[in-house]
Amino acid sequence: MKILVTGSAGFIGSYVVIHLLNSGHLVIGIDNHNNYYDPILKDDRLDLFRNNPNYTHYFADIADQKVINEIFDKEKLDYVINLAAQAGIRHSINNPYIYIESNIIGFLNILEASRIYQIKHLVYASSSSVYGANTSIPFSTKQSVDHPLNLYAATKKANELMAHTYSSLYQLPTTGVRFFTVYGPWGRPDMAPFLFIKSILDGNPIKIYNFGNHKRDFTYIDDIVEGLIKILYHIPVSNVNWNTKVPDLSTSFAPWKLYNIGNNKPINILQFIEAIESATGKKAIKEFLPLQPGDIQDTWADISDLVNEIGYTPKTSIEDGVNSLVSWYIEHYKYKYT
């Protein structure tokens, strides 16, 4: 199969590309290599597979409609995995317009091209942040997500609604995937795991928001990719039992579906820091601060649909995942410390 992965130089995207190439597929990658975080890291990820003869890379922005249509027309794609987006909850508070350009206009371009070129299945990234003000945990795709706490979350909910429109109007099979706190080697340096590791290794204080009183469903990258690939092969169909009076919010009369991908084992943020301390052999200097605007207090993924329908089971413990991340971090950034 020929599969497009947008955001292919990103954290999750690069892992997905490698998995697909190892499975014998032809992979087309799109990434704009923006400077939201260090582009060198994106180039380093791309170096892992850029010379693979089954991989073709486009330095392009999904918000560029003309270029996206040209790529779809040239490549004759079978499947699309859309992971390109402007990420970052706090960044969206101060820079709202770029989220509309990438996450709304860009996603519209992917939807339109997928419709025109009759893609067999469009899988796209959503986020656990869509649960917003909801405090009923574990978070289920059958719950309402009508109260986002930041613009990033609002754009991700909008993606889910936009995808449903195309599934309904054009019978385009689409699946949205709500990721829960992904971490691991080659991850994003703006995320808490990287910030914690760097500060601990450098001997600097780490900022712990909500005074440490929140939990996150940390999910190791390998488990994320396993679930994502299984979803790609599991093309949604219309739910013939869908009831308009009591609607299942995770399915539809259209070929549209939503899944959570998480570890299903949330831990307190202080426990995660303890795992980093154990892996590095260094104690953290902690600076406790209030909950930041736009943040969700706790996250916990209900993954029962993935378990029951696709056979997904996260396998990586926090200890094993953190050890792998810390070992990679020290090697990649050439840390020498005592």
pLDDT tens string 148-185: 999 999 999 999 999 999 999 999 999 999 999 999 99
Co-location of 9 and 157 in the same domain: yes
Report yes or no on 337 lying in a domain: no
Residue that the structure tokens 């709500």 belong to: 178
User: How much is the pLDDT for 337?
Assistant: 60
pLDDT tens string 245-291: 999 999 999 999 999 999 999 999 999 999 999 999 999 999 999 98
pLDDT tens string 103-122: 999 999 999 999 999 999 99
User: How much is the pLDDT for 185?
Assistant: 98
Co-location of 91 and 232 in the same domain: yes
Q: CATH no. for residue 74?
A: 3.40.50.720
User: How much is the pLDDT for 166?
Assistant: 98
User: How much is the pLDDT for 148?
Assistant: 95
Report yes or no on 294 lying in a domain: yes
pLDDT tens string 181-203: 999 999 999 999 999 999 999 99
**Of 228, 261, 294, which residue constitutes the final position of a domain?**
261
Co-location of 152 and 131 in the same domain: yes
* CA neighbours closer than 13 Å in the CB half-sphere of residue 85: 28
Report yes or no on 316 lying in a domain: yes
* CA neighbours closer than 13 Å in the CB half-sphere of residue 215: 15
Co-location of 201 and 223 in the same domain: no
Report yes or no on 338 lying in a domain: no
Co-location of 93 and 204 in the same domain: no
Cis peptide bond N-terminal to 266, omega within 30: no
Co-location of 233 and 294 in the same domain: no
By DSSP bridging, strand 79-82 and strand 2-6 are parallel
pLDDT tens string 294-338: 788 899 999 999 999 999 999 999 999 999 999 999 999 988 764
Co-location of 274 and 225 in the same domain: no
Distances (CA, A) of 170 to 115, 173, 236, 255: 7, 9, 14, 10
Distance CA 168, CA 63 (A): 23
**Residue 323, domain extent:** 185-216+265-332
User: How much is the pLDDT for 307?
Assistant: 96
Dihedral angle computed from the Cα positions of residues 211, 152, 324 and 273, in that order, rounded to the nearest 10 degrees: 0
Co-location of 196 and 86 in the same domain: no
pLDDT tens string 2-51: 999 999 999 999 999 999 999 999 999 999 999 888 999 999 999 999 99
Under DSSP, is residue 37 helix (H, G, I), strand (E, B) or coil? Answer: coil
Under DSSP, is residue 131 helix (H, G, I), strand (E, B) or coil? Answer: helix
Instruction: Name the catalytic one among 37, 152, 220, 329.
Output: 152
Co-location of 193 and 171 in the same domain: no
Q: CATH no. for residue 199?
A: 3.90.25.10
User: How much is the pLDDT for 292?
Assistant: 85
Mean pLDDT for 114-142 is 96
Total residue count of the chain as it appears in this document: 338
**Count: domains in the chain:** 2
Distance CA 306, CA 194 (A): 28
212 or 26, which is more confident?
A: 26
Cα 91–196–14 angle (5° rounding)? 65
Under DSSP, is residue 298 helix (H, G, I), strand (E, B) or coil? Answer: strand
Of 65, 11, 15, whose CA–CA distance to 42 is shortest?
11
By DSSP bridging, strand 2-6 and strand 26-31 are parallel
Co-location of 160 and 276 in the same domain: no
Co-location of 249 and 321 in the same domain: no
Co-location of 190 and 171 in the same domain: no
Given a cut of 90, is residue 231 above it in pLDDT?
yes
**Of 202, 237, 261, which residue constitutes the final position of a domain?**
261
Given a cut of 60, is residue 208 above it in pLDDT?
yes
Q: Is 329 a catalytic residue?
A: no
Mean pLDDT for 111-136 is 97
Report yes or no on 23 lying in a domain: yes
**Of 206, 231, 261, which residue constitutes the final position of a domain?**
261
Distance CA 50, CA 29 (A): 10
Per cent of the chain over pLDDT 90 is 91
Distance CA 268, CA 289 (A): 15
DSSP code per residue over 167-217: HHHH---EEEEEE--EESTT--TTSHHHHHHHHHHHT-EEEEGGGG--EE-
